Structure 1
Amino acid sequence: MEEQPPRHGRVVLVPCPFQGHLNPMLQLGAILHSQGFSITVVHSKFNSPNPSCHHEFTFQPIPDGLSPDEISSGNLVAILLALNCNCKTPFQECMTRMTQQQKPDGKVTCIIYDELMYFAEAAAIHLKLSSIILCTTSVATAQSRVAIRQLKEEDCIPWQDSMSQDRVPNLHSLRFKDLPVSIFGVPDNFLDLISQMYNVRTSSAVIWNTIDCLEQSSLEQQQQRYCPIPIFPIGPLHKFAPVSCSSLLNEDTSCITWLDKQPCNSVLYISLGSLASIDETEVAEMAWGLANSWQRFLWVVRPGSIPGSEWTESLPEGYREIVGERGCIVKWAPQKEVLAHSAVGGFWSHCGWNSTLESISEGVPMICKPCFGDQRVNARYASYVWGIGLQLENKLERKEIERAIRRLMVDSEGEEMRHKAKNIKEKVEICIKEGGSSYNNLKMLLEFMSF
Structure 2
Amino acid sequence: MEERKGQRLVLFPVPLQGHINPMLELAHLLYSRGFSITIIQSDYNSINPSKYPDFTFHSIFCGLCKSDFEDLSTLLMLLNTRTVEEPFRECLAKLLRDSSESEEPIACLISDALYYFTQSVASSLQLPRFALRTGGSSSTLAYAAFPSLKEKGYLPTPGSQFHLEEAVLELPPLRVKDLPLTNSNPDKFYEVICSFINEVMASSGLIFNSIEELESPALEKLRQQLSIPIFPIGPLHKYFPSESASSDSLVAPDETCISWLDRQEPNSVVYVSFGSLATIAETELSEIAWGLANSEHLFLWVVRDGMINGSEWLGFLPSGFIESLGGRGHIVKWAPQLQVLAHPAVGAFWTHSGWNSTMESICEGVPMICMPRLVDQMVNARYVSHVWKIGFLLEKGLERREIEKTIRKLMEWNEGKEIRERSTILKEKAKLCLRQGGSSYRSLEALVTRIISTRDKSSN
Range with bigger deviation, 96-105 or 39-48: 96-105
Q: Give the distance between the partners of 1:418 and 1:272, measured in 2 at CA.
A: 21
The aligned runs of 1:3-402 (5 Å cut-off) are 3-66=1-64, 69-71=67-69, 74-85=70-81, 86-102=83-99, 103-158=101-156, 163-184=163-184, 186-187=186-187, 189-199=188-198, 200-227=200-227, 229-241=228-240, 243-244=242-243, 245-402=247-404
Q: Which amino acid aligns with 1:43?
A: Q
Q: Give the distance between the partners of 1:175 and 1:49, measured in 2 at CA.
A: 38
**Residue 185 of structure 1: CA displacement?**
5.5
Cα displacement string for residues 64-100 of structure 1 (whole angstroms, at most 9, x for unaligned residues): 13356534xx111211211211211111110121122
Two-structure CA RMSD over aligned residues (Å): 1.7
Q: Which amino acid aligns with 2:178?
A: D
Q: Give the distance between the partners of 2:39 and 2:92, measured in 1 at CA.
A: 11
Question: 3-state DSSP class of the match of 2:80?
Answer: helix
Q: Give the distance between the partners of 2:153 and 2:435, measured in 1 at CA.
A: 46
Does the Cα contact within 8 Å between 2:154 and 2:168 map onto a contact in 1?
Answer: no
**Residue 315 of structure 1: CA displacement?**
0.8
Does the Cα contact within 8 Å between 1:88 and 1:122 map onto a contact in 2?
Answer: no
**Residue 54 of structure 1: CA displacement?**
2.0
Q: Which amino acid aligns with 1:101?
A: D
Q: Give the distance between the partners of 2:241 and 2:264, measured in 1 at CA.
A: 28
**Residue 147 of structure 1: CA displacement?**
2.5
Normalising by structure 2, we get a TM-score of 0.93
**Residue 324 of structure 1: CA displacement?**
3.5
Does the Cα contact within 8 Å between 1:30 and 1:242 map onto a contact in 2?
Answer: no
Question: 3-state DSSP class of the match of 1:168?
Answer: coil
Distance 1:146 1:445, change over 3 A: closer
Cα displacement string for residues 418-444 of structure 1 (whole angstroms, at most 9, x for unaligned residues): 011001111111211111101111122
**Which position in structure 1 is the counterpart of 2:458?**
none
Question: 3-state DSSP class of the match of 1:195?
Answer: helix
Q: Give the distance between the partners of 1:242 and 1:296, measured in 2 at CA.
A: 27
**Which position in structure 1 is the counterpart of 2:456?**
none
Q: Which amino acid aligns with 2:76?
A: L
Runs of 4+ aligned residues of structure 1 deviating over 6 Å after TM superposition are: 159-162
**Residue 201 of structure 1: CA displacement?**
4.6
Does the Cα contact within 8 Å between 1:87 and 1:119 map onto a contact in 2?
Answer: no
**Which position in structure 1 is the counterpart of 2:446?**
444
Does the Cα contact within 8 Å between 2:154 and 2:162 map onto a contact in 1?
Answer: no
Range with bigger deviation, 302-311 or 199-208: 199-208
Distance 1:269 1:9, change over 3 A: same
Distance 1:307 1:296, change over 3 A: same
Q: Give the distance between the partners of 1:130 and 1:124, measured in 2 at CA.
A: 6
Distance 1:107 1:81, change over 3 A: same
Q: Give the distance between the partners of 2:360 and 2:256, measured in 1 at CA.
A: 20
Q: Give the distance between the partners of 2:175 and 2:434, measured in 1 at CA.
A: 32
Does the Cα contact within 8 Å between 1:31 and 1:242 map onto a contact in 2?
Answer: no
**Residue 162 of structure 1: CA displacement?**
6.5
Distance 1:45 1:320, change over 3 A: same
Structure 1: segments with no counterpart, 5+ residues: none
Question: 3-state DSSP class of the match of 1:167?
Answer: coil
Q: Which amino acid aligns with 2:274?
A: L
Range with bigger deviation, 238-247 or 342-351: 238-247
Does the Cα contact within 8 Å between 1:92 and 1:122 map onto a contact in 2?
Answer: no
Q: Give the distance between the partners of 2:402 and 2:268, measured in 1 at CA.
A: 20
Q: Give the distance between the partners of 1:55 and 1:383, measured in 2 at CA.
A: 41
Q: Give the distance between the partners of 1:362 and 1:209, measured in 2 at CA.
A: 16
